[in-house]
Structure 1
């Protein structure tokens, strides 16, 4: 197949011996975005305009803080607050409280579940879900999924690599199935799905056994037994279930 800017990162991810190649790609894209924002980019008006508009989610605000460029973070917060406070003033000015009946106090609040029912609640929810770094990943992620499916159906060497791999985390496994159903032919599915499902079941069972042996090692009778592959079973087990890297060190300025 024709090589694209997405081909090499996908191949690198599958050569990394990771529990999930797409977690590997996601982490790389996330770190690249933080490095870009906390580099000279935070002084660029067009970038600041975008970060003022989109803001950052809780997770990526923490990454920006940990990165180590406190002046850059403060400058972004400064202009972000200016726009945010202007927007909040407009939202508050347009807000009209609902007229509740005498029994309203006895009704259970629905704020803990479902969609916000007020304009201010909807505005806050939108701010919570808006993030410059998340958007950076979400814009590129579908192309990496498509590239993977093109490689796995059109490159024999890559297919062999995939068929010996560790599968994926459950989160990215679901995304792959959704994309494959839309893009692969019936013939391609007949070849792809059996290998994908075998890899998932085999490797999920491997994680179950690793975690089980980690627990058994705390039995005094196994004190002198070998740890086998279980020393990092907790970290890998969590990644396999939810994605991400729970044991990653803080990502800081190099």
Structure 2
């Protein structure tokens, strides 16, 4: 299959797959969005961009990553207009709020269900994140491209067979994608490749973690570490995605 601009990131990810090629894609995509929001292009100075970030806000995890990114002035500009909108909405909610209208409910009520309009407003505010939403949209497009390549490009299929599988988070997304984009024998073939791959590599990680522990037994102090020195971060990534040992993405000087 002839390489095109939208297929290059997929090929690149499978060439640098590590424990999960889609963790690689997700990280590269997130870094790109962070650069767009806070990088030298100064998107945060554009009124239409700040209008979007004001409305969608940012989740706790991405606020931390934005802080670590290092652009204090950019973060301050974003926070200033976000606060203006939040205070405007908050004052409106406070003004219209009637405590007597709130119905009592137990501690085990349905998630996000409330008759308290202020709580509803906060829940709505916490339900969106500009970076999460941008990454998800791009990632979903890459997933569709991956399955198109899988059907048409024998080289990618071979690369898949030689990977270490996926993290469990991305395995779920990949299997959902297979159910959506592949039919009949193609879908069966995909499952026949991926499920044994996951079985073997989950057991590989288990053995690495187990040997890491054994190395702390004085009887094994002179034994070889084998492949276990970085077993903790690889083990965490395999279960939940994203290599925790990676440094934060920061503003390039």
TM-score range, shorter chain: over 0.9
Equivalent position of 2:111 in the other structure: 114
**Aligned-pair CA distance for 1:97:** 2.4
Deviation per residue, 1:68-121 (Å, 9 max, x gap): 1101110110011001110111222232324579xx6xx74247x622313222
Q: Distance in 2 between matches of 1:99 and 1:148?
A: 51
Q: Look up the SS of the partner of 1:17 in the other structure.
A: coil
* Alpha carbons 1:116, 1:125 under 8 Å: kept: no
Match of 1:53 among 52, 55, 58: 55
* Alpha carbons 1:210, 1:229 under 8 Å: kept: yes
Moved segments of 4+, more than 4 Å? 1-4, 98-101
Match of 2:218 among 213, 220, 226: 220
Indicate whether 1:95 and 2:97 are aligned.
Answer: yes
Q: Which runs of 5+ in 1 are unaligned?
A: none
Distance 1:126 1:100, change over 3 A: closer
Q: Distance in 2 between matches of 1:124 and 1:56?
A: 13
* Alpha carbons 1:211, 1:230 under 8 Å: kept: yes
Match of 1:129 among 121, 124, 127: 127
Q: Distance in 2 between matches of 1:114 and 1:25?
A: 32
Q: Look up the SS of the partner of 1:31 in the other structure.
A: helix
Equivalent position of 2:199 in the other structure: 201
Give the aligned CA root-mean-square deviation in angstroms: 1.8
Q: Distance in 2 between matches of 1:135 and 1:33?
A: 10
**Aligned-pair CA distance for 1:4:** 4.4
Q: Work out the number of aligned pairs and report it.
A: 249
Q: Distance in 2 between matches of 1:34 and 1:233?
A: 29
TM-score by length of 2: 0.93
* Alpha carbons 2:178, 2:190 under 8 Å: kept: no
Q: Distance in 2 between matches of 1:136 and 1:38?
A: 14
* Alignment map for 1:15-164 (pairs within 5 Å): 15-39=15-39, 40-98=42-100, 108-110=106-108, 114-117=111-114, 118-164=116-162
* Alpha carbons 1:217, 1:225 under 8 Å: kept: yes
Deviation per residue, 1:206-242 (Å, 9 max, x gap): 0000100001100111100111110110000000000
Moved more, 128-137 or 235-244: 128-137
**Aligned-pair CA distance for 1:32:** 1.0
* Alpha carbons 1:153, 1:192 under 8 Å: kept: no
* Alpha carbons 1:57, 1:131 under 8 Å: kept: yes
Equivalent position of 1:211 in the other structure: 209
Q: Distance in 2 between matches of 1:52 and 1:248?
A: 29
TM-score by length of 1: 0.92
Equivalent position of 1:186 in the other structure: 184
